[in-house]
Structure 1
Amino acid sequence: MMKIKALSVGFIGANCYIIDFDDNNIALIDPGDEGERISREFDGKKLKWILLTHGHADHIMAVNMLKEKFNPKIIVSINEKEIIENPELNLSKQFGIPCSVKADLYVQEGIIKLDSHKVRVLETPGHTPGSVIYIIENYMFTGDTLFKDSIGRMDLPGGDKALMKKTLRRLSEIEVDYTVLPGHGPSTSLKREQKNNPYFISFL
């Protein structure tokens, strides 16, 4: 049975999700900082994949350390390649800790497999060009696209209000009530956000 643990990491408090597939393998979503602390949660299991919802510094800063130590496969949207590789675009240079990340697998909309585990990739641009949502079982990992009662900023490099409107329109039409695990803040549900999130109301 899949287990999920959330850690708030780094000085901005980004959510890193540790997914234990109960088959000795671990996946991470957005290890933004504190790689050693994250790795202490593995309980002897193998870190096999790191999935990035987007490329901003507060979501990628532990990637290189974890890659060097555990050699997981790094997965990100093809539309986010330039951002993860460019310290100015991913904002790490502005934070004084320039960071460039290389992915092993660049993905697009569709289904990918982590061994036997299916992951649905939704392209959700707006916060960044290559922002994606990962859906695993009944969980929706939304990165900085969707938060409880809010959405991601659109005034950072690659942000686009028109694309965010399209993304929210698409999310408003999903009928499954996924558990939403965002990049910052508490979890919520998709139905709750469709009904109560002010941006769904004002943008649609």
Structure 2
Amino acid sequence: MMKIKALMVGFIGANCYIIEFDDKSIALIDPGDEGEKILKEFDGGKLKWILLTHGHADHIMAVNMLKEKFDPKIIASINEKEIIENPELNLSRQFGISYSVKADLYIQEGIIKLDNHDITILETPGHTPGSVIYIIGNYMFTGDTLFKDSIGRMDLPGGDKDSMKKTLRRLSEIEADYIVLPGHGPSTSLKREQKNNPYFISFL
């Protein structure tokens, strides 16, 4: 069992997800900014992990503050290492801030365990080279790969249309109907997006 809270953080309005497992351990997905706002939602749980779907500034800007305060393990794709560590590539410098993050664990596709909790990782390049989707139970945390009725931009550093096409093709073949929790905007479901998202239709 787990509880999931969604917070919109930062001036771009990115979604940060707080996952509290039944043992009161907490995983954060994409703490993009406003660390103090995020802290108010912990309800006494222990922050143990920060999972990054990708490395753009609007998804990482509270990481270092939370790392300093709680020392959680920071997890990101090995293919995103250069982006999260480089202010030019993660776009923070464009906003007048030179910000970088270093992960404690650089991961690839597969299953990892956070204590006794299984996390499935799908590599989904297109928005960035190291974009990943995390699947936890019946929930799919898609970052800026997949939104309700849309997908992530491909005109930013590391974006690639051909890679996005392959990613969407792969997502279109998943039979399970996950609840999709994206990096921006409202939640949706994978089956709904497979049927109605115009990019699934035009890209495939």
Quickly name the TM-score band, shorter chain normalised. over 0.9
Aligned partner of 1:203 in structure 2 is 203
Q: CA deviation at 1:131?
A: 0.1
Q: CA deviation at 1:90?
A: 0.1
Q: CA deviation at 1:24?
A: 1.7
Q: Distance in 2 between matches of 1:59 and 1:123?
A: 17
Normalising by structure 1, report the TM-score.
0.99
Q: Distance in 2 between matches of 1:74 and 1:12?
A: 22
| Secondary structure of 1:122's aligned partner | strand
Q: Distance in 2 between matches of 1:44 and 1:68?
A: 18
Q: Residues 12-91 of structure 1 correspond to what in structure 2 (within 5 A)?
A: 12-91=12-91
Q: Distance in 2 between matches of 1:144 and 1:203?
A: 17
| Secondary structure of 2:93's aligned partner | coil
Deviations 1:150-185, CA, capped at 9 Å, x for gaps: 000000000000000000000000000000000000
Aligned-residue CA RMSD in angstroms?
0.4
* Letter of the structure 2 residue corresponding to residue 180 of structure 1: V
Aligned partner of 2:182 in structure 1 is 182
Q: CA deviation at 1:200?
A: 0.1
Deviations 1:75-113, CA, capped at 9 Å, x for gaps: 000000000000000000001111010000000000000
Normalising by structure 2, report the TM-score.
0.99
Q: Residues 44-193 of structure 1 correspond to what in structure 2 (within 5 A)?
A: 44-193=44-193
Q: CA deviation at 1:22?
A: 1.8
Q: Distance in 2 between matches of 1:69 and 1:36?
A: 11
Gaps of 5+ in 1: none
| Secondary structure of 2:202's aligned partner | helix
Percent identity over paired residues:
88
Q: Distance in 1 between matches of 2:65 and 2:124?
A: 27
Deviations 1:36-86, CA, capped at 9 Å, x for gaps: 110111111100000000000000000000000010000000000000000
Q: Distance in 2 between matches of 1:202 and 1:2?
A: 36
| Secondary structure of 2:128's aligned partner | coil
Q: Distance in 2 between matches of 1:66 and 1:91?
A: 20
Q: Distance in 1 between matches of 2:28 and 2:22?
A: 14
Gaps of 5+ in 2: none
| Secondary structure of 2:97's aligned partner | coil
Q: Distance in 2 between matches of 1:43 and 1:169?
A: 40
Q: Distance in 1 between matches of 2:138 and 2:101?
A: 29
Flag as ranges the 4+ runs of structure 1 deviating above 2 A: none
| Secondary structure of 2:65's aligned partner | helix
Aligned residues: 204
* Letter of the structure 2 residue corresponding to residue 151 of structure 1: I
